[in-house]
Amino acid sequence: MQLYARSYPEDLAGVVAMNAVPPADPWLDESAPLMSEQERVDELAYYSGGEGTEDFDWNTSFTQLDATGPPPAVPVLVLISTATECESADDICGRTHGVYEAVMEELAATWPLGVYMTVDARHEIYYSPDAVAAIRQLVAAVRNPSLWVVSATPLPRTPQLESGASG
């Protein structure tokens, strides 16, 4: 998503990233100490497109991303599930979710009009009424950019519609 957006900004009106794969750096550096040895091996294999993964080389994609220009100034919503998506506080998801939140929050902040938002939902976040409402706000902002407000208040930042506007 990021690579496409930075490579073809003229084709972009807005971006929604839901429970996206976090950028390899800093994710791998910061989450690795919270993983077992086998979990680290599996995570590295996933990022390199190894067997049993989505066969997508995330490492190459993130290297290509680093070589592109800055993110375009379009409404961007980085939407992730809370730790509710994890089976347990002790599984890999539960142990690393705080790092995931921090990395994705930082990702949103790299976009001029980036907004970070969490939704209390399982991994299939698109079923969440709160996620649907946030996406509708982004669509409304694409139609009327004055509706997309990136708050300067403490995080989590959430998109806000001006009063009287419909999503």
pLDDT along the chain (167 residues), means of 10: 90 92 92 96 87 75 89 92 93 96 95 92 85 88 82 42 38
pLDDT of residue 51: 64
Say which amino acid occupies 31: S
pLDDT recorded at residue 8: 92
Cis peptide before 156 (omega within 30 of 0): yes
Alpha carbon of 8 to those of 23, 64, 84: distances in Å? 20, 14, 35
Contacts (Cβ under 8 Å, ≥6 apart) of 28: 43, 44, 47
| Burial letters 56-70, b for 16+ CB under 10 A, else e | eebeebbeebeeeee
What pTM was estimated for this model as a whole?
0.83
Cα three-residue angle 101-120-158, rounded to 5 degrees? 65
pLDDT of residue 126: 82
CA distance 151 to 160: 8
Measure the CA–CA gap between 104 and 167, rounded to whole angstroms.
25
Question: How many Cβ atoms are within 10 Å of 148's Cβ, its own excluded?
Answer: 22
- Can you give the pLDDT at residue 147? 81
Q: What is the pLDDT of residue 55?
A: 72
